[in-house]
Amino acid sequence: MAQSITQYQPKLKSSTHTLSTPTPTTSTPTPFTSVYGPVSSWRFGQSLGIDPIGHHSTCSFRCAYCQLGKIEQVQTTRQVFVSTRHIEQDLQTFAPWDVDVVTLSGSGEPTLALNLGEIITLAKTVTAKPIAVLTNGTLLHDATVRAELAIAHEVAVKLDAIGPVRFQRVNRPAPGMTLEQILQGIQQFRQEYTGRLAIQTMLLSPWSVAEQDTYITFVQHLQPDEIQLNTPTRPKPVQHEMDARGNHAAGDRPYTVHHLKPLSESVLQPMSDRIHRATGIPVRHPKQLLTQ
Ligand code: SF4
């Protein structure tokens, strides 16, 4: 059943930032490399990125804050986007792996890659570094996807809403996708997965007490190893920008961006404390970045 997609209206300030003059309004296409970084992440430290999605940003969501910029292809079916051989060749140049973690993320939703399991296995054979996957959880209802993800040392699952209205507004899912199905998939995965599970929640506006209570009940039952509360600290490109998948730095960018207003520490800290007090689960948020 098709679901209506509501345009979310976060506090956006559109601007063009440049690295040098004159001011360009469009960027030059960047050649595709399936391995990028390392990037410095408040959640993972120095992270080498593997992009199993490729040139065209492809996802089952179109999140209002997506730091890739525009999602060019919205889909829920899996396919091979980048061959495992291509990734293997690109990975070799990064030996001897002076990073904290190797992360599958990139230009969209990594579980849409049909060769996800192959890529994780490959990464584990060429480096002893931990392998993490960032997923939006939309395919966790699929037993094959769960089995492939189970090979990773750490899986971070996005959960930006605990009710259908915020879900539609923030994540803008592909037609037919329901929050209920995603929550069931996450629970199923938790029961099967023996690695480290994190729940990542992006906050664009303060949550009501009732929403926080529903969230607390869910995570209490789920028992993830960690909860990461996030808020937009990077600008959102207007168009899809390959550079955005690995550019975690503050400062100017050679393309047009929207600035989303991050939540303040006075909102994040009490919510973190409340969740931690109620569940005992470690909760982190990007405090340092917001106070810089
Ligand atoms: S799930 Fe990630 S890649 Fe997909 S639209 Fe949301 S932020 Fe972008």
pLDDT in tens, 129-163: 999 999 999 999 999 999 999 999 999 999 999 99
Nearest alpha carbon, ligand 1 atom 7: 66
Please provide the DSSP assignment of the chain as one string.
Answer: -----PPP---EEEEE--SSSS--SS-PPPPP-SEEEEEEETTTEEEEEE-SS-SS-EES---TT-TT-S-SEE--S-B-SS-HHHHHHHHHTTTT--SSEEEE-SSB-GGGBTTHHHHHHHHHHH--S-EEEEE-STTTTSHHHHHHHTTSSEEEEE---SSHHHIIIII-PPTT--HHHHHHHHHHHHHH--SEEEEEEE-SSPPPHHHHHHHHHHHHHH--SEEEEE---SPEESS--GGGGT----S--SSEEEEEPPPPHHHHHHHHHHHHHHH---EE--HHHHH-
CATH code for the domain in which residue 42 is found: 3.20.20.70
Say how many Å lie between the CA of residue 63 and the centre of ligand 1. 5
Q: Is the pLDDT confidence value at 22 over 60?
A: no
Does pTM top 0.95 for this prediction? no
pLDDT tens readout for residues 46-78: 999 999 999 999 999 999 999 998 899 999 999
Listed residue (206, 211, 61) closest to 136, CA to CA: 61
Q: Tell me what the mean pLDDT of segment 249-256 comes to.
A: 67
Lining residues, ligand 1, CB within 6 Å: 59, 61-63, 66, 68, 71, 108-109, 136, 158
Specify the ligand 1 atom closest to the Cα of 105.
3
Q: 17: pLDDT confidence band, cut at 50, 70 and 90?
A: very low
Cα 60 to Cα 62: distance, rounded to the nearest angstrom: 7
Residue 121 lies in domain: 27-291
Closest ligand 1 atom number to CA of residue 107: 3
pLDDT at 91 over 90: yes
Instruction: Say if strands 73-74 and 58-59 run parallel, antiparallel, or are unpaired.
Output: parallel
Considering the chain, what percentage of its residues have pLDDT values greater than 90? 70
Average pLDDT rounded to a whole number, residues 12-30: 42
Residue 40: both structure tokens together: 């410095």
The predicted pLDDT at position 31 comes to: 73
Q: Which residue has the higher pLDDT, 188 or 5?
A: 188
Q: Which residue has the higher pLDDT, 91 or 241?
A: 91
Domain membership flag for residue 272 = yes
- 16 pLDDT more than 50: no
The answer as to whether 21 is a domain residue is no
Q: Is 10 among the domain residues?
A: no
Q: How far, CA to CA in Å, does 197 sit from each of 115, 192, 205, 223?
A: 21, 11, 25, 9
- Residue 18 counted as domain residue: no
Ligand 1 binding pocket mutation candidate from 53, 56, 58, 68 (most atoms within 8 A of CB):
68
pLDDT at 292: 33
Q: How big is the CA angle at 79 (ends 75 and 83), to the nearest 5 degrees?
A: 135
Which atom of ligand 1 sits closest to the CA of residue 108? 3
| Number of domains present in the structure of the chain | 1
Decide if 87 is inside a domain: yes
Question: Which of 8, 51, 57, 61 maximizes ligand 1 atoms within 8 Å of its Cβ, making it the mutation to test the pocket?
Answer: 61
Q: Which atom of ligand 1 is nearest to the CA of 57?
A: 3
Distance of CA 35 from the midpoint of ligand 1 (Å)? 18
Residues 6 or more apart from 206 whose CB is under 8 A from it?
Answer: 263, 267, 271
**Each residue's pLDDT tens digit, 100-116:** 999 999 999 999 999 99
Q: What is the pLDDT of residues 261-286, one digit of tens each?
A: 899 999 999 999 999 999 999 999 98
Please list, residue by residue across 44-56, b when 16 or more beta carbons sit within 10 angstroms of its beta carbon and e when fewer do. beebbbbbbbbbe
pLDDT at residue 6 is higher than 50: no
| Phi–psi pair at 282, nearest 5 degrees | -60, 135
pLDDT surpasses 60 at 12: no
CA separation for the pair 198, 47 (Å, rounded): 16
Cα of 61 vs centre of ligand 1, distance in Å, is 6
